[in-house]
Chains A and B, each alone.
Chain A
Amino acid sequence: MSTFLLLTITGLGLGAMYFLIASGLSLIYGLMGVLNFAHGVFITVTAYTLWFVESKIGDVPVLPRFLIAALAGLVVGTVFAALTELVLIRPLYGRHIEQVLVTVGLALAVTALVTAIWGSDARVVTAPAWVGQTTTIFGAHIPNDRWLEIATAVIVLFALEAFLRRTRYGLIVRAGVENRAMVTALGIDVRKAFTLVFAIGGLAAGIAAVLYTLYSTTVDPQQGTSLVIFAFIVVVIGGLGSIRGTAWAAVMVGLVQQYANYYASSGLGDLSVVLLLGIVLIARPRGLSGSFA
Chain B
Amino acid sequence: MKRLLVPAAIVVALAFLPQLSLDIPYVFQDGVNTPGTLELLALCLLFGGLALSYDLLFGFTGLLSFGHALYFAVGVYVAAIAMTRWHWDFWVSAAFTALVGFLLAIVLGAVSLRVAGIAFAMVTLAFAQAGSILALKNPYKWTGGEEGFGVDYHQLPAWTVGILNTKHLYWIALAYAAFVFVVVRWAVNSSPGHVWQAIRENELRVQVLGLKPYTYKLMSYVLASVLATAGGIVYLLLLGGANIDVTTASFTLTLLLMVVIGGTGSRWGAMIGGILYTFANHRLGDLSSSHAVSSLPSVIRTPLQQPLFILGVLFILVVFFVPGGLTRIGQVGVRLDRILRRPAVQEERA
Contacts and interface: CB of A to CB of B under 8 A. Distances in A.
Asked if chains A and B come from one complex, the reply is yes
Interface of A: 29, 33, 35, 37, 88, 91-98, 100-102, 104-113, 115-117, 180-181, 184, 225, 229, 232-233, 235-236, 240, 266-267, 270-271, 274, 277-278, 281-282, 285, 292
28 contacts: A29-B118, A33-B118, A35-B121, A35-B122, A94-B349, A95-B348, A102-B319, A102-B320, A104-B315, A105-B315, A107-B312, A108-B309, A109-B309, A109-B315, A110-B312, A113-B303, A115-B306, A116-B303, A116-B305, A117-B302, A181-B350, A225-B250, A232-B126, A233-B122, A236-B126, A271-B134, A281-B112, A282-B111
Given A105-B316, A108-B253, A270-B133, 4 more contacts: A110-B312, A111-B308, A233-B126, A266-B137
Most buried by A among B254, B302, B348: B348
A93 B134 contact: no
Contacts, number: 133
Contacts of A88: 316
A33 B118 CA distance: 8
Contact of A108 (B117, B136, B312, B347): B312
B55 to A, nearest CB: 14
Contacts of B125: 229, 232
A140 B250 CA distance: 39
Contacts of B118: 29, 33, 35, 96, 100, 240
A281 B137 contact: no
Nearest to B252: A104
Contact of B123 (A94, A98, A100, A281): A281
Given A35-B121, A104-B256, A232-B122, A274 B316 contact: no
A104 B64 contact: no
B312 A106 contact: yes
**Binding site of B, secondary structure by majority: helix, strand, loop or mixed?**
helix
A145 B346 CA distance: 46
B312 A282 contact: no
Interface in B293-325: 302-303, 305-309, 311-313, 315-316, 319-320, 323
Contacts of A282: 111, 114
Interface of B: 64, 111-112, 114-115, 117-119, 121-123, 125-127, 129-130, 133-134, 136-137, 249-250, 253-254, 256-257, 260, 302-303, 305-309, 311-313, 315-316, 319-320, 323, 339, 346-350
A92 B319 CA distance: 10
Contact of A181 (B313, B346, B347): B347
Contact of B312 (A98, A112, A274): A112
Contacts of A184: 347
A116 B298 CA distance: 11
